[in-house]
């Protein structure tokens, strides 16, 4: 889905998910590793404050990814 959106809209798509190898296989170009499968953008088990802070950090990284020039599939780690 990621690859097709990027191809048809010609805009950067950053994918946030937990199992990175699958994103690599399906052809996502900008990859941000998620926290956990049921909560890719948060850590609700760690309380509200931490949860939001983590969500913010992951999304800021995603925003950085869409502003980054890349030539091939790239994983944006913390």
Partner 1 sequence: MAYKVVCYINQFFAGMGGEEAAHQEPFAKREPLGPAMQINFLLGDEAEVVGTVVCGDSYYGENIEIARERCLELIKGFSPDLLIAGPAFNAGRYGVACGDICVTAGEILGIPTVTGMYYENPGVELYSNKTFIVKTADSARGMKDALQNITTLSLKLLKGQKLRPAEEEGYFHRGIRKNFFYEENGAKRAVDMLLKKLKGELFKTEYEMPTFKKITPAKPVKDIKNATIALVSSGGVVPKGNPDRIRVSSAESYGKYDISGIDDLSPEIFESIHGGYDRVWANKDPDVVLPVDVMRQLEKEGVFGKLYDYVYTTTGTGTSVANAERFGKEIGEDLKKAGVDAVILTST
State the residues that interact with partner 1 by CB under 8 A.
1-19, 21-22, 25-27, 29-30, 34, 36-42, 44-45, 51-52, 55-56, 58-60, 62-63, 66-74
In terms of Cβ atoms closer than 10 Å to its own Cβ (0-12, 13-18, 19+), residue 62 is: middle
Minimum distance, C-beta of residue 53 to partner 1, in the bound complex (Å): 9
As a whole number of angstroms, the distance between CA 41 and CA 58 comes to 7
- Which residue, 21 or 78, has its beta carbon nearer to partner 1? 21
As a whole number of angstroms, the distance between CA 67 and CA 56 comes to 17
- Which residue, 67 or 77, has its beta carbon nearer to partner 1? 67
Minimum distance, C-beta of residue 7 to partner 1, in the bound complex (Å): 5
Contact yes or no for 13/29 (Cβ under 8 A):
yes
């Amino acid at each position: 889905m990621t690859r097709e959106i990027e191809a048809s809209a010609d805009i950067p798509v950053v994918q946030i998910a937990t199992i990175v190898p699958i994103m690599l296989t399906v052809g996502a170009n900008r990859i941000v590793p998620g926290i956990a499968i049921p909560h890719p953008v948060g850590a609700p088990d760690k309380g509200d404050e931490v949860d939001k802070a983590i969500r913010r950090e992951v999304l800021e990284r995603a925003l950085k990814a869409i502003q980054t020039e890349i030539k091939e599939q790239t994983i944006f780690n913390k």
